[in-house]
Amino acid sequence: MGLSAWKLAGNNRWALRNNPSSGNLHPTESYLITSGINNIVAGVYHYHSYLHCLEQRCTFESPPAAESFLIGLSSIHWREAWKYGERAFRYCQHDIGHAIATFSYAAATLGWQVEVLDRCSDEHIDSLLGLNRQVDFNGAEHEKADVLIQIHTRPEQQAVNIDDLISCAQQGYWQGQANCLSPEPHINWPLIDDISNTCVKPQTESLHWQPPQLPELSACTSTAHATTIIQQRRSAQAFDGISTLPLHDFYRMLDCVLPRHNTPPFDSLNYAPRIHLAIFVHRVESLEPGLYVLARSANGEKVLRKNFNAQFDWKKTAGAADHLTLYQLANGNSQNAARAISCHQDIAADSAFSLGMLAEFDSNIDDKPWQYRQLFWEAGMIGQTLYLEAEAADVRATGIGCYFDDSMHEIMGIENTVLQSMYHFTVGTPITDARLGTEPPYTHLKNS
């Protein structure tokens, strides 16, 4: 969640982070909750990305002896809403998904594993992170609880006892005040409040879904260290509209978004995939340009087949591994369609491929409205995988949060809300803006 670089243009400079964020507005806050770990006083800490330090929020007076190592994530909707209005809600959720995957990849570089604690209620998270302490948020924009994740530093690590940690937090010693981002009056976006209230998560049973056994991922062609790839990740501003992506890289990127045991980031989720990819192939070696679909689960494929345009071909893509359920639906140049759907952004047409992420929607949200948020998280996680795999394949990606879902649905022949487009993405050979300068991420600390 730290800075990855400073960008310079004339007198302007702005920081980028390892995790992407819509409009680079970074509404996600992250917290560390620990107990029973050497050299760290048990308690709750807020991460400060500019200073790259932890701010101690709560000291547990009598912490549980058992080891706990948790990360909590929250969103400040206003950080996106001042610019994007109602769309801010979904962008905040996408960013949470990117952040979960960011933690998952970072943990994997240390041999650790991340587990999303899907049983926790938002009320639990509020209590643990101190987000319900109005006295500490006096005049500051409200932070909404999103997710707790456990970091497993060794296999078979015990599940943490959240209730114990919450009572430690309730009896603990708290310090610090949230700072106010914009003191001027805020524009009110009632829909954001409505949707956040509708999607509040209650406590639920733990889920225990296991991914199917899949063949190992094909080798990554990059020899760069994971850390290098993570820190060099950037969003492409423009693509060259010419270069062709090698077929091996395309298949590997898609394979990486399938859940596998012990493979970040989807081994952090205890539920089956709910998101599938509708792909506009523009320039991929040996593949006919056209519309393709990757079903991320067998059940998902059934839902897609039932709800897509009945005229689609469903031709299994030649050369793809058997388990990669990638089908060609229609051939032809889909650049104009992709551009138009993505709010007329050229990045969706000039890339090697762009895609829409389709969620199994009604079945997931009808009686569990909080899963609406989880659908965006899963989409954000897929996005983070594509960002990193693109860097590893020496190309670049960009998240596309601005898209027209109705137009996407029309192309796919979707006539109801069984499926819903949640996020778009694009991958290709970037054109880099030579006018921009770059500085290392923490030069401002060295100079001060």
Ligand X SMILES: Cc1cc2nc3c(=O)[nH]c(=O)nc-3n(C[C@H](O)[C@H](O)[C@H](O)COP(=O)(O)O)c2cc1C
DSSP one-letter string for 54-89: EEEEEE-SS--SS-EEEEEEEE-THHHHHHHGGGHH
The structure tokens 């506009």 sit at: 280
Residue 291: beta bridge partners? 280, 330
Spell out the residues 6+ positions from residue 8 whose beta carbon is closer than 8 angstroms to its own: 436, 437, 438, 439
Whichever of 169 and 348 has its CB closer to ligand X, that residue is 348
Compute the least distance from the CB of residue 261 to ligand X, in Å: 27
Compute the least distance from the CB of residue 187 to ligand X, in Å: 21
Compute the least distance from the CB of residue 185 to ligand X, in Å: 27
How far is 196 from 371, CA to CA, in rounded Å? 12
Helix axes 190-198, 88-109, angle to 10 degrees: 50
| 55 conformational bin, left if phi > 0, alpha if psi -120 to 50, beta if neither | beta
How far is 59 from 43, CA to CA, in rounded Å? 4
Whichever of 22 and 113 has its CB closer to ligand X, that residue is 22
Whichever of 133 and 233 has its CB closer to ligand X, that residue is 233
Compute the least distance from the CB of residue 44 to ligand X, in Å: 26
How far is 182 from 140, CA to CA, in rounded Å? 8
Whichever of 217 and 343 has its CB closer to ligand X, that residue is 343
The structure tokens 């600390």 sit at: 445
Compute the least distance from the CB of residue 425 to ligand X, in Å: 9
Q: Tokens for 340?
A: 């138009």
Whichever of 85 and 319 has its CB closer to ligand X, that residue is 85
Compute the least distance from the CB of residue 376 to ligand X, in Å: 9
Compute the least distance from the CB of residue 5 to ligand X, in Å: 8
Q: Determine the residue with CB nearest ligand X.
A: 401
Whichever of 398 and 421 has its CB closer to ligand X, that residue is 398
Edge-to-edge strand order for the sheet containing 144-152?
113-116, 144-152, 68-75, 28-35, 43-48, 53-59, 173-174
Residues that bind ligand X (CB under 6 A): 16, 20-24, 91, 94-95, 98, 234-235, 345, 347, 398-402
Rg (alpha carbons) of the chain, rounded to whole number: 22
Whichever of 328 and 384 has its CB closer to ligand X, that residue is 384
